[in-house]
Each structure stands twice: as C-alpha cells, then as structure tokens.
Chain A
Amino acid sequence: MSVVIVLQQGLSVLLVLAGVVFLAGGTLGLVRLPDLYTRAHAASKCDSVGAGSILLGLLFYGGVAFEDLRLVLLVFLVLVSGPTTAHALARAGFRTGLPVGRARERDDR
C-alpha cells in the first residue's frame, strides 16, 4: 500500500518538476528571443506544456477523486487558450507586415 503511495507521489513530483523546467524555459525564451514571432513560440508552447504538466502532477498527488475533473478541465483550457493566443498575436503581426527574421541584427544598423 505504501509503495503505491510513494510511486504515486513520486510521479506527481516528477511531473511538477518537469512543468517547472518548461515554465522556466518558456520565460527565459521570452527574454532571450528577438522578435514577436519567436517570443510567441516560447510564451505559448513551453508555458502550455509546463502548466499542463504541473496540473497533471497535482492530479496524481492526492489520488483520483471527483474533484479532480476540475483539474482536467483546467488542463484542457490551458492547452487550448495558450496556442490560440499565440496564433492571434502572430497573425496580427503578419497581417500588419511585421518583418520576420533576426530583429536584433536590424536593430544594430
């Protein structure tokens, strides 16, 4: 019995840790990447995977209960809203003619 709990909580901790790594990576990308398009990549994808992973970890932590369905809903919401926002931002940039490429090099001129 206790072995099951150790495995379960271990899995949970691993998932949350992985989520933290992805979130940190996404944030770092937001700071380091040069323009709107590339930043949209970092902000939406890494963050969605990170948040999803953390929520999944929480799902396993306490054993499965009815209340956990709410966490599943949250995972779904995060996974849908992140990429949608990124697409909306990037399309707005594309349609208004924001140049694609290394903005940093352009800034140097």
Chain B
Amino acid sequence: MRTVKMSVALFAFWCLVVPPEVVLDLLVGVGLAFGVSVWAARFLWPLADPFFASLRPWRVPRFVLQTALRVIVASLQVLRIVLDPRLPIGPEVVRHTVHLRTDAARAAFANLITVTPGTLTLDIEGDTFVVHCLDRALAEDLLSGRLAMDVEALFEGERA
C-alpha cells in the first residue's frame, strides 16, 4: 500500500518536472515511479520505518513560520558582522544538552540549529549537541532553550 502511495507521489513529481507531451513521457514516468518505490520499500524504509511516527503534522505550519522568522533575523545579524570593518566575531564551540526522546526529534533539533544562521551543528554525543557558533550572541536562542521548545512542540511525547 505504501509502495502504491509513493508511486503516485513520485509520478506527480515527475509530471511537475517533466510536463508529459507524448505518451512515451508518461510511460517512462510511470515506470520510474514504480521502480523507485519498490527499491525504496526494499532498501530504505526498513531503516527509517517509525522515524516520523511521533510528528504532529498540524504543528508544522507554525514551526515553519517560526523558523523562517528566526532564520531571517539571524541572517541579518550575520550580514551585519560580515559588513562590519572590524569583523567582530568570537567563534567558539558550545555544548548544549537536551534530552529528546526520539531520533526524529534529535535530527530535527540538529538541523534546526544548522539552519539558523550563526550556529552550526558539528556533532551529536548522546544527548549533547556540539555546536559551532560565529559569536556567542548568536547562540542565545539555543542556550536559552527556546530552540529546543520549538522542536518539543513539534513531536509527540516530548516534554512540551
């Protein structure tokens, strides 16, 4: 059933990228969509099956908006640092420990840190996120726990 669903989604994607003009385009699209789905079902899904089970889909739009705002604000801060003749950076590595229950939440948190300008996830050591920041001031959202709260709200069974 999931294979069929994925085939349909992939075929829609194909139609978007290659607007079919002749019958052959359609046939190749159907063939590829089905082939890739079967391949994914065989090799990819066993690894990641319950990965997004705890995601709360209705929280996604708010999360995306929040993140977009953060990214824009932080981009402006980075831009100001780069344009400043004195180049006022204080690069350092900070370690921040947050306990997240699922791997999906941890991956989301690590990626959220990376997407926010000025902070970059280097590595994860258990519950500790090793983060490089361009300047301590840019890591404030992370160290105050505001970023973690965003992610906890997005997933089922986390603290928030």
Contacts and interface: CB of A to CB of B under 8 A. Distances in A.
Contact of B132 (A37, A45, A73): A37
B82 interface: yes
Contacts of A42: 78, 82
B123 A25 contact: no
A49 B75 contact: yes
Q: Give the size range of A's interface with the partner.
A: 20 to 34
Given A25-B79, A28-B82, A38 B71 contact: no
Contacts of A79: 115
Contact of A86 (B17, B79, B114): B114
A5 interface: no
Contacts of A38: 89, 91, 134
Contacts of A70: 16-17
Interface in B67-118: 71-72, 74-75, 78-79, 82-83, 87, 89, 91-93, 110-111, 114-115, 117-118
A48 B79 CA distance: 13
B9 interface: no
A42 B78 CA distance: 8
Interface string B117-136: 11011110000001010100
20 contacts: A25-B82, A28-B83, A29-B78, A29-B82, A32-B87, A40-B120, A41-B120, A41-B134, A42-B82, A45-B71, A45-B75, A45-B117, A46-B75, A46-B78, A49-B72, A49-B75, A69-B16, A86-B114, A91-B121, A95-B123
Interface of A: 21-22, 25-26, 28-29, 32-33, 35, 37-38, 40-42, 44-46, 49, 69-70, 73, 79, 83-84, 86-87, 90-91, 94-95, 100-102
**10 closest Cβ pairs, A-B complex:** A45-B117, A29-B82, A94-B122, A25-B79, A83-B114, A49-B75, A37-B132, A87-B114, A41-B134, A83-B115
